Structure 1
């Protein structure tokens, strides 16, 4: 039976070329859509790694009144203490501009054991940074005041960076070279991975460095963890307090929950547009497949009538047409899978291979369902052809 089906397909190869092309194009488009969806879904399932709720950022651009570093340190320390003394404030920390959900980027590299690790997100943070975000320490400890005078600069890394450098081995107490491998950085802690660019993106590599007094003059962001009772009234009071303390500065207060939503929208909206465009394409392809199958049935009425006259049942005729369509789909999928498999083999876009493998399997299942549904009704119509009428027409 299978040999007979392949013979029929070969004899009608010119008519089947359009069918094969439509299936191939559909597979490639569906593969692209499922690759995005699987990638985002796998990232979404991972723990967030930080508590963004009730975290506010205060941005300012104060022109310094003095170049005396000791005076600046005293000023910023007094400002921090004043904020912490407010009844609605739980924790306060200075930070560099690249805090989670912001648009700031600051990357560096490390040189462990003679090799290079690039694209490491470098966060300059204050002492209470972990209290603001409620980060989970997996190993070691957070920074303390003694770290500012340590011989080797202390750093805290995330678990992805630890795995890249040390595999499953311990990291606490180990030293790694900085970007140019001229200085040594001592690892004192490992935090759980956290998704700083939204729920749908991976954590990447991250390290935290203590924000020293020399960096304070370049700092223009404060992170504040407020209590659940904090409302718009407190936000207004906080704004007035900052405006009075930083008289030559423009103050902006942002809620990190809103910044997170904005980051997620930057991923969701383009993806929805892509899905809508792909859906229209799939609908057109489905209509095309339906039309091709319907045309083939009308061209083969004599063949179908003869089979029915020789005793073939309606289900047998319908099954043959559906089987032909599925075999054609398999031929197109074989070609499509050849191209799709190049993505995990060549590690395109540095995406885990499991993403592409799952996308290929889902795309194959989707194409088979699509072809089966498109062939089902024409197959039933073919089964309903009366042999006498079909032979009379011939």
Structure 2
């Protein structure tokens, strides 16, 4: 039976080739959609690694003319102290411009012995940054006053970077970085999804802000209690604006920034889903039309089969099986190309993402072809032998 079906398919190879090509293209588009969906889903399942519900961001531009380092240190600590003294404030910290859910990104490299890691997110933070965001330390400690006299600058890394640099070995106390700019690892924190729910945490390195210098800041993170309202936000703004050295002041809520970051992440997937939906509809209509055309062209063949005793279910099953064989041929070609993505580590995604996407795409295409072939198969089964042979 299968041999006979392959012979029928080969006899109409030109027509079937176009159908196989259409199914193949559909598979590749569906594979791209499922890869994006699976990747986002796996990232979404991972914990955020910090708390953002009651954290505000103060954006400001500082034009401080103080040259003396001790005076500058006192100036910035006084600024933080004034904010923390406000009743609804629980904690406050300086931060660089790449605060959570912002579009700003600072990248650097990390080296340890012969291991070189690229694309490490680089954060400059204050001594209370972890308390503002409730970050979880898994090893070591956070920055503190003991680092003021450190001969080697301290750094804190996340778990993903720790795994790449040290594996299962010791991390605390090890020196990372290029010669002349070594950093001593003093702590390891849980991965933080700083770009939204659907983006991976990536690799991260945290360095301590030097409050005796004017670089490395531009943002202040403020953790507030549930009593903070619009009136408090106005008072906070006036406090910052009252400092003649500050300008361009803007207060944002991390909850709002998270929504914006998530929406921006979902835009490519929505566009791809719209394109894929149109393609799927076209493939379904094309497949349905081809099968319907085949039934009309093969009425004599179907009538002859029915006349010699073939049942309606047998005729219907033949047409459905032919469609599934064509789908299988297209999927074999599509899977060959799709499997290259995990083998070549394209886009740096985990191999499991591609493998799950391939499996889901195969199931989807089979279901699509099955649904599109059932009704034409049913119509073929309803053809009466006498009518079909009479028309011939």
Q: TM-score range by the shorter chain?
A: over 0.9
Task: State the alpha-carbon separation in 2 of the partners of residues 232 and 194 from structure 1.
Answer: 29
- Secondary structure of 1:315's counterpart equals helix
Paired residues of 1:319 and 1:379 also in contact (CA < 8 A): yes
What corresponds to 1:335 in structure 2? Answer: 333
Task: State the alpha-carbon separation in 2 of the partners of residues 248 and 343 from structure 1.
Answer: 50
Runs of 4 or more, structure 1, over 4 Å off, are none
What corresponds to 1:151 in structure 2? Answer: 151
TM-superposition CA deviations, 1:161-209 (whole Å, max 9, x none): 0000111233122222x2x332332111110001111111111111111
Paired residues of 1:49 and 1:135 also in contact (CA < 8 A): yes
- Secondary structure of 1:363's counterpart equals helix
Task: State the alpha-carbon separation in 2 of the partners of residues 240 and 11 from structure 1.
Answer: 82
Deviation, structure 1 residue 235: 0.3
Task: State the alpha-carbon separation in 1 of the partners of residues 255 and 333 from structure 2.
Answer: 46
Alignment of 1:1-394 (within 5 A): 1-176=1-176, 178=177, 180-246=178-244, 248-394=246-392
Task: State the alpha-carbon separation in 2 of the partners of residues 86 and 245 from structure 1.
Answer: 16
- Secondary structure of 1:87's counterpart equals coil
Deviation, structure 1 residue 228: 1.1
Task: State the alpha-carbon separation in 1 of the partners of residues 306 and 106 from structure 2.
Answer: 73
| Greater alpha carbon shift after TM alignment, 92-101 vs 166-175 | 166-175
Where structure 1 has 5 or more consecutive residues not aligned to the other structure, the ranges are none
Paired residues of 1:27 and 1:367 also in contact (CA < 8 A): yes
Task: State the alpha-carbon separation in 1 of the partners of residues 321 and 290 from structure 2.
Answer: 15
Q: How many residues align?
A: 392
| Greater alpha carbon shift after TM alignment, 266-275 vs 167-176 | 167-176
Paired residues of 1:148 and 1:210 also in contact (CA < 8 A): no
TM-score, structure 2 normalization: 0.97
Paired residues of 1:137 and 1:192 also in contact (CA < 8 A): yes
Paired residues of 1:148 and 1:212 also in contact (CA < 8 A): no
Task: State the alpha-carbon separation in 1 of the partners of residues 375 and 188 from structure 2.
Answer: 60
Task: State the alpha-carbon separation in 2 of the partners of residues 134 and 182 from structure 1.
Answer: 33
TM-superposition CA deviations, 1:3-36 (whole Å, max 9, x none): 1111111122122122111111111111111111
| Greater alpha carbon shift after TM alignment, 252-261 vs 65-74 | 65-74
Deviation, structure 1 residue 154: 1.2
TM-score, structure 1 normalization: 0.97
CA-atom RMSD in angstroms? 1.3
Q: 1:187 to 1:218 in 2, by over 3 A?
A: closer
Task: State the alpha-carbon separation in 1 of the partners of residues 113 and 245 from structure 2.
Answer: 49
Task: State the alpha-carbon separation in 1 of the partners of residues 210 and 195 from structure 2.
Answer: 26
Task: State the alpha-carbon separation in 2 of the partners of residues 14 and 79 from structure 1.
Answer: 76
TM-superposition CA deviations, 1:244-264 (whole Å, max 9, x none): 124552211011111111111
